[in-house]
Structure 1
Amino acid sequence: MSPAGVLAFSAAFCLLVIVAGLAASLASWVGYEPAPYRMIEAADGFELREYPDLTLVKTRREDDAAAFMRLAEYLHGFNAAHRVMTMTIPIFSLGDSMGLVLSGCRPDNAPPPLSTGLSIDTLRPGRVLVSRVQGRLTRDQEKIIISQMEAWLERQGLQKSVRPLMHVFYDPPWIPDVFRRSEIMLAVEERR
């Protein structure tokens, strides 16, 4: 094959990989039920949202892929009721735990997990400021974004809450980083 042919083949292959990655990323979260929230304001690349209390099945997050699989097994019927449940998005990451919203469940009626590595809990996000992130986030990038979020809150006369920072993910761990969609959620104090 001539050098021009190799170059054309390589360019076509790269384009195919990019299109396939984008399609896989879109397909990974299209059709799943999102966690409910109310949009309060969208400005300057941020969203101010209000979330109700959410019932989660959660697990320790020592390894993202293993944690995600434990949560998926629960949804696919590995629970005391052997009930298959609807997958929701996003996946909430809070410190060393990862959790999925259980649509239509409360802690008192969610099927108990069969795995000792899972628990049912209530997440109370309340009012949060959200910044959407494309790809994998470095610690330095995260610090910059959080600083920008804090400055935005100050300009709006709002204050960051002492509640912990949350990360949310819309894609399973096997989606390549460049195609991943995630968000940083900073808890906001309620106005008095």
Structure 2
Amino acid sequence: MMRKRMVYFSVVAGLLLVGTLTWNLTARAAYESAEYKVIESDGDFEIREYPDLILAATTAKLDAQGRDGSFMKLFRYISGANDSEQKISMTTPVFMEKDQTDAESRMGFVMPKEVAVEGVPTPTGEGVAIRKRAGGRFAVYRFSGRLDEKLAKESETKLREWMKTKGLTAAPDSPGSSNIESAAYDPPFTPGPLRRNEILIRLK
């Protein structure tokens, strides 16, 4: 009896895991994602070429995971808090770019390609600005888990070690910002093991 019960619970747990994974992948696929070209792939590491992207951005704390109000500022913007009162589709990923002091980061929503071409509406909400993320070549490391400062630092170390083996050099920091970014692809309620996160370092 006990063995049957254990088998039953194992089957149910397996079905729930498969269902959650399938739902998560389907939900992620429903969003437009920032385009890039893969130059080289090595397991969880890649070299990518990105075009210029237009972002709606605000200041944020990485460990806050958007709970500091930064996510809602950007969400209100795409929900109509702009001079056209235009509703803008959510995209992936959400980029987090550190400043040179590590005191804070900038969280950015990528504007859909159609909106970027037709003209991005001006934010009316406080603390939101439109900026260009310059295209270029990036080294990228992909990983799962709840993205916080500790996990980001560990992942950055792994990426830099991989870059050394490939003879890749990071680009110098630009004025006011770092050459390091993190990217999150999933809603906040997604379980850590199913989340897609990335660390990106701009290459020289």
TM over 0.5: yes
Structure 1 distance, partners of 2:148, 2:94, is: 19
Question: Is the aligned partner of 1:34 residue 2:30?
Answer: no
Greater mean alpha carbon deviation, residues 174-183 or residues 18-27 = 18-27
Superposition RMSD on alpha carbons, in Å? 2.7
Question: What count of residue pairs does the alignment treat as equivalent?
Answer: 188
Cα displacement (A) at 1:90: 1.0
What's the counterpart of residue 177 of structure 1? 192
Tell me the TM-score normalized by structure 2.
Answer: 0.78
Structure 2: gaps spanning 5 or more residues: 99-104
What's the counterpart of residue 154 of structure 1? 164
Cα displacement (A) at 1:78: 2.7
Q: Tell me, yes or no, if the aligned pair for 2:152 and 2:182 is still in contact at 8 Å.
A: no
Q: Which amino acid aligns with 1:122?
A: K
Structure 2 distance, partners of 1:43, 1:12, is: 34
Greater mean alpha carbon deviation, residues 143-152 or residues 111-120 = 143-152
What SS is found at the alignment partner of 1:23? helix
Cα displacement (A) at 1:102: 0.8
Structure 1 distance, partners of 2:72, 2:17, is: 26
Question: Is the aligned partner of 1:128 residue 2:143?
Answer: no
Q: Which amino acid aligns with 1:159?
A: T
What's the counterpart of residue 91 of structure 2? 88
Q: Tell me, yes or no, if the aligned pair for 1:125 and 1:187 is still in contact at 8 Å.
A: no
Cα displacement (A) at 1:139: 5.5
What's the counterpart of residue 74 of structure 2? 71
Q: Tell me, yes or no, if the aligned pair for 1:56 and 1:122 is still in contact at 8 Å.
A: yes
Question: Is the aligned partner of 1:58 residue 2:57?
Answer: yes
Aligned-pair identity in percent equals 30
Cα displacement (A) at 1:43: 2.7
Q: Tell me, yes or no, if the aligned pair for 1:53 and 1:124 is still in contact at 8 Å.
A: yes
Q: Tell me, yes or no, if the aligned pair for 2:44 and 2:143 is still in contact at 8 Å.
A: no
Question: Is the aligned partner of 1:188 residue 2:198?
Answer: no
Q: Which amino acid aligns with 2:127?
A: G
Cα displacement (A) at 1:50: 1.7
Check 1:137–1:90 CA distance in 2 against 1; reply closer, same or farther (3 A cut): closer
Greater mean alpha carbon deviation, residues 107-116 or residues 119-128 = 107-116
Structure 2 distance, partners of 1:78, 1:28, is: 25
What SS is found at the alignment partner of 2:87? coil
